[in-house]
Amino acid sequence: MTQAAAPTDRQQAQALAPILAASTAAGVAAALVTVAAVSLPVAAAVVASAGPVASSPVIGPAMTAVRAAEASYRAAYLVAAARRVQAAVKNGSSLRAALAAEKPYLDAHLAAQANRKRAAVAVDKAAARHGLILGWKARMDSRTSAECAAADGRNFDVRRPPGIGLPGSVHPHCRCRPVAAFAGAPMVGETVRTQRKVAVA
Ligand SMILES: [Zn+2]
């Protein structure tokens, strides 16, 4: 029999996400102590500095999906942040200094959250015009990321955003946008099997 491996950060974030969606800040901090094995003052400070997950009016299916996923993103951030702050405090830093050092990470997390909301608004607008299956258009040049380039010219279902997220929110400065669906194109993330041709003798 093999011994159970220690839970990964991802598993811990998964455990934290549903608590985050339903709990007060104190409840979230207590949960973070359990899942990330950090001290309560560290957990409470990290949760307080992150603030509440901003709510936004639901205007369509893309925003609904993004809102549902936001707790998971926040949980992943909180686990990682608590780890960093705890490590800094262990190394002799004050809690205040450790939180100040955490600021760029928090800013990046909040910027990504705002980016996801912006993308959802654009996708819902496009869906109102073109339907729930949309096309993915990337700006193709030397700066296009591999993920965005792979998604270009494919389709996605607005109600179930692909693993890379929505067009416009794959990474900071993502220039992708939703367009009308491409007829007959595969879905984003779908493995396209090339049909093997049988040689005819
Ligand atoms: Zn992109």
- Segment 34-76, tens digit of pLDDT: 888 999 999 999 999 998 877 767 679 999 888 888 888 999 9
| Residues at Cβ < 5 Å from ligand 1 ion | 148, 170, 174, 176
CA of 177 to the centre of ligand 1 (A): 8
Q: How many Å apart are CA 51 and CA 43, to the nearest integer?
A: 13
Angle 135-140-141 from CA coordinates, rounded to 5°:
170
CA of 17 to the centre of ligand 1 (A): 26
Mean pLDDT of 123-152: 96
CA of 195 to the centre of ligand 1 (A): 29
Helix (H, G, I), strand (E, B) or coil at 3: coil
Q: How many Å apart are CA 42 and CA 193, to the nearest integer?
A: 49
User: Both tokens of residue 149?
Assistant: 């380039």
Model pTM score: 0.78
CA of 7 to the centre of ligand 1 (A): 32
What pLDDT band is residue 194 in, cutting at 50, 70 and 90? low
* Per-domain residue ranges of the chain: 9-130
CA of 189 to the centre of ligand 1 (A): 14
CA of 115 to the centre of ligand 1 (A): 12
CB 53 within 8 A of CB 71: yes
